[in-house]
């Protein structure tokens, strides 16, 4: 009698076999090259691949890890990849997963940054970026709307958003003080009116895709259990990995050297990215453009456009900032500008992402030891509300430099305004993708530039 073939449904009820580190490495490398679409798109890709298709982790455990990553400063999608890699293959698994999420975009951005700075005056490139800049303004406005529609659930939170916008727009209050003030308001408000600062996070899992390698009832592996000595050792290793390059830079270039100041500035930026990349961009432009002068406002807008069109977390725009600053203020002289820019981009990436790895490797055992919801959401809710106001200010900043390139005393750029309106309609009304909108606006900008 012939044997009945195994159906797809039967296979879906079979627990997957253990995944070798090599197979996981190939997946994380692939993810690093296809992780377009910002954090929402990246998390969606991971959910489809890891929960639905491969079943390396269950829906509930996936969301539990994501809720923790949402509480942290830093790019939540990259931290989620680090968390799952660590849970599956110990510390090196987490390091590999997190690093491969970032490295492809670093190399791509170094190459694109060099093309931009070396050939930025070529008419074709000028025309393309003429169309991209208004699109970026619309994209940032959409980010403010997207985060605001999710975060601003009552008048208290709307008030915090409005106050943060006024603070940074009218009084130029530093972004760290806005974050600190919002956190204090959230802490106090969470105690006085907890219902106003409650948040649902990503909720509980409602769907099962079959048995997973790391399932709902899978015991926490030995390496993921909390150990005080392991935590202390990890903190010492992390401090060393930060202090050694910082000390070397200080010794070679002095504390006021460009690379040293970049390392220090982006260390602080890494601790302020509550709410994702759009939240820290105002802090980056305040420092990189306004205080240090590493790049111009126009270059900052162009850098965000490049970051939007490359894989990896959007916060990788810091690599562009580092490259341009290192290239312009070359520590190796005018003949080695590319080397100086590439070194600066690499250092900036190191100091920006090092805390993300430490947060996951140090905090993961605490999260795994209790599969309960975290209770520190009130300050985060207030910070997220403040971030909405800050991002709206960023949209105003970009709009000013795009629509009045010579200042309010100069001419109003009508073609840029029309491109920005078209981009906004595409994003808000027709729900087109960011890359699609950027490419379309780039072609329109090229046409306008040629016809002028």
How would DSSP label each residue in 139-206?
A: HHHHHHHHHHHHH--SHHHHHHHHHHHHHHHHS---HHHHHHHHHHHHHHHHHH-GGGS---TT----
Q: What is the mean pLDDT of residues 150-176?
A: 89
Q: What is the pLDDT of residues 355-400, one digit of tens each?
A: 999 999 998 888 777 554 445 568 878 887 888 888 888 889 889 9
Using an 8 Å Cβ cutoff, are 362 and 260 in contact? Answer: no
Contact 173, 167 (CB under 8 A): yes
CA distance 325 to 340: 9
What's the pLDDT tens digit per position in 255-294?
999 999 999 999 998 887 666 666 777 788 889 998 999 9
Q: Residue 34's CB: how many other CB atoms inside 10 A?
A: 13
More confident residue, 324 or 3: 324
Query: Could you report the per-residue pLDDT of 300-352, keeping only the tens digit for each?
Result: 999 988 887 788 887 889 999 999 999 999 999 889 999 999 999 999 999 99
Return the pLDDT at 311: 85
Instruction: Report the candidate in 307, 358, 341, 420 with the shortest Cα–Cα distance to residue 79.
Output: 358
Q: Which 8-state DSSP code applies to residue 291?
A: I
Task: Yes or no: say if 420 and 402 are a contact pair by the CB < 8 Å rule.
Answer: yes
Question: What average pLDDT does the segment 157-163 reach?
Answer: 95
Residue 41's pLDDT band, with cuts at 50, 70 and 90, is low
Task: Report yes or no: 351 and 263 within 8 Å, Cβ to Cβ.
Answer: yes
Which of 308, 173, 322, 207 shows the shortest CA–CA distance to 261? 322
**Contact (CB, 8 A) for 224 and 368:** yes
Rg (CA), the chain: 23
Instruction: Return d(Cα 147, Cα 38) in angstroms, integer.
Output: 13
pTM assigned to the model: 0.79
Report residue 38 as tokens: 């910002």
List the structure tokens of 245.
Answer: 């390059």
Residue among 308, 348, 304 at smallest CA distance from 325: 348
The position carrying tokens 């994380």 is 28
Q: What does the alpha-carbon distance between residue 318 and residue 316 come to, in Å, rounded to a whole number? A: 5
Tokens of 174: 């530093």
Q: Which two tokens stand for residue 192?
A: 């006085």
Q: How high is the pLDDT of residue 422?
A: 97
Residue 232 has pLDDT above 50, yes or no: yes
Considering 58-62, 221-225, 297-301, 318-322, the range whose residues carry the highest mean pLDDT is 318-322
Instruction: Give the rounded percent of residues in the chain with a pLDDT score beyond 90.
Output: 46
Over range 412-431, report the average pLDDT. Answer: 95
> Within 13 Å, how many C-alpha atoms sit on residue 41's CB side?
17
Token match 């939170």: residue? Answer: 157
Task: Provide the β-strand partners of residue 214.
Answer: 57
Which residues have C-beta within 8 Å of that of residue 31, sequence separation ≥ 6? 45, 46, 49, 81, 100, 101
Indicate whether 63 pLDDT > 70: yes
Neighbours of 136 (CB within 10 A): 29
pLDDT of residue 37: 60
The pLDDT confidence band at residue 204, using thresholds 50, 70 and 90, is very low
Band of residue 4 on the pLDDT scale cut at 50, 70, 90: very low
């Amino acid at each position: 009698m012939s044997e009945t073939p195994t159906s797809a449904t039967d296979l879906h009820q079979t627990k997957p076999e253990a995944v070798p580190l090599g197979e996981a490495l190939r997946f994380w490398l692939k993810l690093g090259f296809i992780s377009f679409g910002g954090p929402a798109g990246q998390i969606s890709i991971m959910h489809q691949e890891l929960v639905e298709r491969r079943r390396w982790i269950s829906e509930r455990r996936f969301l539990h890890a994501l809720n923790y990553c949402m509480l942290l400063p830093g790019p939540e999608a990259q931290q989620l990849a680090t968390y799952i890699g660590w849970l599956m293959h110990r510390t090196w698994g987490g390091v590999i997963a997190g690093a491969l999420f970032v490295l492809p975009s670093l190399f791509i951005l170094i190459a694109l940054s060099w093309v931009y700075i070396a050939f930025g005056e070529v008419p074709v490139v000028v025309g393309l970026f003429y169309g991209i800049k208004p699109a970026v303004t619309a994209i940032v406005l959409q980010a403010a709307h997207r985060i605001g529609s999710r975060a601003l659930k009552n008048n208290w939170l709307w008030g915090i958003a409005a106050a943060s916008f006024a603070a940074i727009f009218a009084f130029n209050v530093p972004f760290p003080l806005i974050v600190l003030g919002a956190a204090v308001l959230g802490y106090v408000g969470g105690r006085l009116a907890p219902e106003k600062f409650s948040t649902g996070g990503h909720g509980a899992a409602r769907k099962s895709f079959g048995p997973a390698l790391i399932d709902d009832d899978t015991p926490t592996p030995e390496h993921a259990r909390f150990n005080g000595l392991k935590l202390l050792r990890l903190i010492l290793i992390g401090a060393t990995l930060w202090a050694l390059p910082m000390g070397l830079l200080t010794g070679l270039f002095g504390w006021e050297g460009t690379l040293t100041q970049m390392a220090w500035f982006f260390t602080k930026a890494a601790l302020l990215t509550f709410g994702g990349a759009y939240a820290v961009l105002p802090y980056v432009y305040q420092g990189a453009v306004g205080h240090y002068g590493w790049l111009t406002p126009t270059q900052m807008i162009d850098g965000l456009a490049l970051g939007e069109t490359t894989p990896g977390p959007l916060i990788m725009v810091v690599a562009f900032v580092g490259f341009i600053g290192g290239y312009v203020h070359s520590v190796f002289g005018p003949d080695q500008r590319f080397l100086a820019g590439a070194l600066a981009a690499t250092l900036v990436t190191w100091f920006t992402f090092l805390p993300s790895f430490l947060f996951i490797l140090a905090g993961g055992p605490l999260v795994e030891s209790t599969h309960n919801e975290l209770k520190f959401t009130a300050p985060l809710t207030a910070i997220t509300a403040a971030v909405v106001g800050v991002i709206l200010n960023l949209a105003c900043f970009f709009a000013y430099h795009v629509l009045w390139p010579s200042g309010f005393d100069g001419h109003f750029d009508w073609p840029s305004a029309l491109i920005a309106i078209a981009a906004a309609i595409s994003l808000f009304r027709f729900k087109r993708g960011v890359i699609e909108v950027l490419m379309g606006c780039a072609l329109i900008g090229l046409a306008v530039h040629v016809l002028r």
